[in-house]
Chain A
Amino acid sequence: MKFKVLFILALFICMLFLAGCGGNNAVSTNGEDDISNSDNNAVGNDSEESNNENNNGTTGENMAAEQTLLIAADQDPSGLDPHKVTAHSSIRITGKVYEGLLQFDDDMELAPQLAESWEQVDDTTYIFKLREGVKFHNGREMTAEDVKYSFDRIKDPETASIGASYFTSVEDIEILGDYEIQFHLSDAYAPFLSYIAHSSAAIVPQEVVEEHGDLNQEAVGTGPFVFEEMVPDTHVILSKNEDYYIEGQPKLDGLKYLTMIDESSRIAAVRTGQIHLTTVSPESVSLLEANVELEIINYYTLDYNYLGINTEREPFNDERVRQAISLAVDRNELINTVMGGDAQLTGPVPPSLGNWSIDVSQHEMYEHNIEKAKELLEEAGFGDGFEAEIGVPGTYRDRVADGQMIQQMLAQIGIDVTIVQLEWGDYIDAWNEGRYDMLTGRNGAGTDPDRSLNFFFHTEGSANVWGFSDEEFDELAEKGRFEVDQGTREQTYFDAQDRLLTQAPNLFLYNPQNYIVISKNVSDYMPLPHSSERFHDTYLSE
């Protein structure tokens, strides 16, 4: 009897083994099949696309029945008011619902959006001609009145709009007709048009603002997607704007942003086909590369990670101390350790912005030189070092890691750093209040060097939370702002960047790459440095 049982058990185990092997084989052959299949599909997609181009409008058989794009977001949106929000998690929503007068096209050139055309009459006067027949999602037509209202709202100090400082030079807005509007500036202001194309210059309907008091929980714009609902910590749902003024766009029926702060859950979700698109960190790329169902797209963003220094506090008000910190921080080491090598050196204007940025690799503040740093501290009277606190946003792994690495690096020159992890909302408060000696963070440098320099570091800049004030820099940054000749403007901004690096109110650590994972059936999607989510033409194929 006992033998029989043992025999059966042994047999069972053998079968399990066999089944296991068999299963593996089956999987691997399937895998190969999948590769060739998907290749075929890819070819099929191409021909489908060319078909589409030929007989406009018949996007047909290749499209899947279900056209809701599911996106896993790494952070919940913090409010939806397009004039106020700064976090990417919010802008990615408001950017779909609202539009501005102008936009940037694929080559980062200015292109029409709600304005059909524009004209610079003289140095300080611009006239925009609006597109006719554009409707807000509540059905009312958008006119020059709304444009004026929106810019008045941005400029109104009570709105506390993040874009207010972009438009300080706008003196007067005049409605010339239902579809024509004129902006008059106090001075020549070079970056004016690129700010008009910024996401915070959104056109909003007055009645919705008045009805709800603000736009933090409600969103009614003219964009390709209509705001449906937002459930905190869970999801945001947008649906297709059926009346969108561009025929045939968007192709998707809707977007659903699922909040998944934890990266491993985003990865699991994209692997199992639960979602179509998400961002991942460089480390996780190797886990997904082998997956034939997924495609990984990487690109250099316009963002940079930084170490912000509160320049009003002792001893950081001494530029020599800040320079010592800059010399002690090995940015290449950060790139290798925190970003796995997938990032590049950057100054305040990231290299991805093209001609505007200077080559920082040769800058004296980027040479990793502990001896020199110690000498500078000595000169400043802090040869024995001192204690300092760095605040880091706890939910962002890279910024916590930056903090930990910098702590080690600063220990080498005798600065004893304590790290304080902050919850996201608290971190934003701390950033505004200048609560810590230093903060690690990430900035979007924007599409014009004026934002990268004036907005963040001018004495009057809206985002200059560092208390940084340097006459020479202010002068250069202002000069660039009012300089209309492109060549001179470039040189001025080079000088301003150089000055900023030497003054070191922030350390610009690196310009990261973004990794977006999409499932293979997402078609016609390509992220750009300035807009990672343009879904006008995107659709889901079978």
Chain B
Amino acid sequence: MKEITDRLRKDKIGMAGLIGVLFIILLAFLAPVIAPYNPTEMFNQHRLERPSTQFWLGTDEFGRDILSRIIYGAQVSIMVGLIAVGIGATFGFIFGLLAGFFKGWVDNTIMRIMDVLFAFPDLLLALAIVAVLGPNLRNTMIAIGIVTIPVFTRLVRASVIAVKEMDFVLSAESIGIKTPRIILRHITPYILAPFLVQITLALSIAILAEAALSFLGLGIQPPHPSWGSMLSDARGYMELAPWIAIFPALFIILTIFCFNLLGDSLRDLLDPKLKS
């Protein structure tokens, strides 16, 4: 692990991504402390004001402070990202292990279900799930979580199958170590690296999906801010007050960019073939 952090420190691009991600997470956790205003408070005398010293990023059509809304919006993005990917990764890991280790009908059943899930475009599937469960933040997270399960499942299954045939697993089996122990102690550590990389990438996908669902009115409900819903509200004011749209969009772009940078450099660092 130390080796990885050392190498990450040398990778400037990866570092930039990491710093960006930490910055967003910090924003989210410190929102109540650093946000200048309450994100839902309406300053009726200050509707659609351009950025000023009083409202750093301007105000929206209700006179709400954009900066405060973006900061609180980061909470939503990070929370959705972590919980949704948490759901996806956990189930994906379990299903992938089972499928890869036991093969046969277990593998067949799990993977055919995953194929069905894979057959739907991500966003469409999430939309359908939210439409059935009802639009709110919890259901958005569940929906995005379900959508990310198949990717994790495939990844873990493929790794497990590769590892399973390796000598150290075969020898562990041959000396009679119990299956759960083999899975936990011998296989899991080995597939952790690609799994971690996938998590960072899935985080950015989940954040983007939340923005998209909120944009469509299916995510977090007004007046609570999310970057996607802010962008959606801003549509009608694109010309009149472009700052309402520009800043949330900028934050979405930067966040995704940082997560992807981090993910890419992690992949390079953890790939045994690229070890110099």
Contact = CB atoms under 8 A, between A and B. Distances in A.
A401 B62 contact: yes
28 contacts: A263-B235, A264-B236, A264-B238, A281-B236, A283-B61, A283-B236, A283-B240, A284-B236, A284-B240, A333-B44, A336-B44, A337-B42, A337-B44, A337-B47, A337-B62, A392-B222, A394-B217, A397-B236, A400-B222, A401-B62, A403-B222, A404-B62, A404-B222, A404-B223, A419-B221, A419-B223, A421-B135, A421-B221
Interface string B132-153: 0011100000000000000000
A401 B238 contact: no
A37 interface: no
Contact of B222 (A264, A287, A419): A419
B165 interface: no
A84 to B, nearest CB: 25
A491 interface: no
Contacts of A392: 222
Contacts of A526: none
A242 interface: no
Given A267-B239, A281-B236, A401-B62, 18 more contacts: A262-B235, A264-B236, A283-B61, A283-B240, A284-B236, A284-B240, A337-B42, A337-B62, A397-B233, A397-B236, A401-B61, A405-B62, A408-B40, A408-B42, A408-B223, A420-B136, A421-B135, A423-B131
A263 B234 CA distance: 11
Interface string B208-230: 00000000011001110000000
A404 B40 CA distance: 9
Contact of A286 (B47, B135, B240): B240
Interface of A: 262-264, 267, 281, 283-284, 286-287, 333, 336-337, 392, 394, 397, 400-401, 403-405, 407-408, 418-421, 423
> How would you classify the secondary structure of chain A's contact residues: helix, strand, loop or mixed?
helix
B9 to A, nearest CB: 40
Given A333-B44, A337-B47, A407 B223 contact: yes
B237 interface: yes
B44 A421 contact: no
Given A283-B237, A283-B240, A397-B236, A405 B42 contact: yes
Contacts of A281: 236
A336 to B, nearest CB: 7
B235 A264 contact: yes
A362 B47 CA distance: 28
A343 B40 CA distance: 25
Contacts of B237: 283
B68 to A, nearest CB: 15
A161 to B, nearest CB: 30
Interface string B236-258: 11111000000000000000000
Nearest to B239: A287
